[in-house]
Chains A and B, each alone.
With several copies, the nearest count.
Chain A
Amino acid sequence: MNILKNIESIRNDFPILSTKVNGNQLVYFDNAATSQTPNCVIDSISDYYKTLNSNIHRGVHKLSQLATEKYENSRKKFKEHLNANCTSEIIFTSGTTHSINLVSNGFIEFLNEGDEIIVSQLEHHSNIVPWQMLCEKTGAVMKVIPMNEQGELKVSEFLKLLNNKTKIVFINHVSNALGTINPIETVIEKSHAIGAAVLIDGAQAAPHFEIDVKKLNVDFYVFSAHKLCGPTGVGILYGKKEWLEKLPPYQGGGEMIDEVSFEKTTYAELPNKFEAGTPNIAGVIASGIGLDYINSIGLKNIKEYEDYLLDYATSKLKEIEGVKVYGESKNKTSVISFNIGEIHPYDIGSLIDNLGIAVRTGQHCAQPIMDYFNIPGTIRISFCFYNTIEEIDFLVKALKKAIKMLS
């Protein structure tokens, strides 16, 4: 689908985009935090509760059967989208954060004191803190791949960190704070060469381009539905079957067991082993609808259009005096982090918010990056395929107004 030609009709699919703030049309540039939700996804949630709400997997009755089918059908959609080998490799969680914790918790069993794990300086807190907790529990040591001024990982430093004590490497595919696309192909290949597993945090990648887990040969790939036109409360964990089979269960409860007695409990097969309790059934089904929606537009088209917005916005912002953009890799997507002179990002954010522009200011859950640049935070704008050139022009005007008020 040609996005530019169809932008009106695409925008009409998202009811929230017609919101007014202080008389201005809402401009939503906080897509890296969460994407907006198209009517088809909203409707699928209503339909679920109006026609088939029921607990899944456990019932002999029809509602339960229909709900189970739809739920499992959503798994199939993600399996196909990611090109996984089988549906057992797709685990539904409550979000990227949950997905990462599921894996990091499982690695307690595989790590000994002195083992090493590797993270990058570009990570979201969700891909740092669970591993710090893991290190505390196991005595493993965390090594950090540093970045350069452009906000790119220093691959040569990464290669130096790798050694036969390295057990797992976890980096994001795209940095949420800077938009850098990391060279995960190299990271995966080199890590595998010394026998380390790799987890890729794809929270900021999955909404913007195609992911082929088979081609990547990645061990774990995680992301959130709410950044992918889906609802809140759903995460996806892709794991290679061999890994998911080795990994101990994370939560105990209904559905994840085979037999329970007080003497001995045996666990269910994949994927149930990792889906204890009643899942977010409506949410998982709606996530599949969100994925369908994105695929109906096409990730190739999305990437192309968003790159166009990114280039345009970057050049327009740089025309404003005092603007400094953080993260200037040639390989980036959909995110611009910047500051203006000595003005605090919070001041800018507050003022342009009153003009109806939703941006994020602060550390973006990536404090190590802010520490690197020695700044309190940035203003971050992040795009989705429903954003427009006109919105960027309006942002530029609003920024100029804010700068005037603040100086």
Chain B
Amino acid sequence: MKIKDIQNQIVEEFDIFDSWMDKYEYLIELGKSVPIISPSNKKDDNIIKGCQSKVWLHADSDNGFVKFYADSDAVITKGIISLLIRAFSNQKPKDIIEAKMDFIDKIGLRQHLSPNRANGLNNMIKKIKFYAIAFSKTD
């Protein structure tokens, strides 16, 4: 599926819930299915700055597609990173670089996310784009 379509799908899924509690419960649930980063890649270099909780993010390239792996010590953060990975993993670098990133707003979650978190969120997105740029050069 294209990034845009996945994002729309996510937005639709969240639209079903009308209380923040249900949204958070779903988010927490989603966090459990993050493709977990391997222990050897769970190193300081892969920590994303600006989050109150620790977030590690790693990527590798598989036949021209970028694959992301992550983990966090906070479950809500894990939920958010799982959404990002769902949208951007298994995509081509070029598509990732060009993708719009506003689906988080549309889910109605950003308003529940603190500026620390929003900062962290921006940094997650930045890191995802950096990986894509790096792979676009090697490929």
- Residues of chain A whose beta carbon lies under 8 Å from any beta carbon of chain B: 22, 56-61, 64-65, 68-69, 72, 258, 344-347, 350-351, 353-354, 361-362, 376-377, 405-406
Give, as a whole number of angstroms, the nearest-CB distance from B105 to chain A: 14
Chain B residue numbers with a CB within 8 Å of A68 are 115
A362 with B52: in contact, given A65-B114, A350-B114 (CB under 8 Å)? Answer: yes
**Other than the known A258-B49, A406-B28, what 11 A-B pairs have Cβ atoms closer than 8 Å?**
A60-B52, A65-B114, A69-B115, A345-B52, A346-B74, A347-B53, A350-B76, A354-B20, A362-B52, A362-B116, A406-B75
Verify B116–A59 contact, CB threshold 8 A.
yes
Q: Which of A56, A61, A344 contacts B74 (CB 8 A)?
A: A344
Interface residue B129 (Cβ < 8 Å from any Cβ of A): no
A71's nearest neighbour on chain B, judged by CB, is B115
B15 interfacial by beta-carbon distance below 8 Å = no
Chain A residues with CB below 8 A from B25, complex form: 405
Residues of B close to A345: CB separation below 8 A = 52
Of B20, B74, B75, B115, the contact of A64 (CB 8 Å cutoff): B115
> Chain B: residues with CB nearer than 8 A to chain A?
20-21, 24-25, 28, 49, 52-54, 73-77, 112-118
Give the chain B neighbours of A351 by CB distance below 8 A: 24, 76
Other-chain residue from B24, B54, B116 in contact with A60 (beta carbon distance below 8 A): B116
State the majority secondary structure of interface residues on B. Answer: helix
> Quick check: B116 and A57 within 8 Å, CB to CB?
yes
**A58 CA to B75 CA in the complex, in Å?**
20
Q: Is the CB of B53 within 8 A of A60?
A: no
Beyond A22-B20, A376-B53, whether A65 also contacts B76 by CB under 8 A is: no
Question: Smallest CB-CB separation from B72: which chain A residue?
Answer: A344
User: Is there contact, CB below 8 Å, between B112 and A354?
Assistant: yes
When the two chains form their complex, are residues B54 and A59 in contact, meaning their CB atoms are under 8 A apart? no
Please indicate the chain A residues that have their CB under 8 angstroms from the CB of B49 in the complex. Answer: 258
Q: How far is the CB of A213 from chain B (nearest CB, A)?
A: 25
Chain B residues whose CB sits within 8 angstroms of the CB of A22 once the complex forms: 20
Residue among A69, A346, A406 with max Cβ neighbours from chain B (10 Å)? A346
User: What residue of chain B has the Cβ atom nearest to residue A72's Cβ?
Assistant: B115
13 contacts between A and B (CB under 8 A): A59-B116, A61-B114, A64-B115, A65-B118, A69-B115, A344-B75, A346-B52, A350-B24, A350-B112, A350-B113, A354-B21, A362-B116, A406-B28
Determine whether the beta carbon of A59 is less than 8 Å from that of B28: no
In the bound complex, residues from chain A placing their C-beta under 8 Å from that of B52 are: 60, 345-346, 361-362, 377
- A-B pairs with the 9 shortest C-beta distances? A344-B74, A68-B115, A60-B114, A346-B52, A346-B74, A346-B53, A65-B114, A354-B20, A347-B74
Nearest A residue to B25 via CB reads A405
Q: Which residues of A contact B73 (CB under 8 A)?
A: 344, 376
From residue A89, how far is it (CB to closest CB) to chain B in Å? 18
Bound CA span A353–B25, Å: 15
Residues of chain B lying within 8 A (CB to CB) of residue A344: 53, 73-75, 77
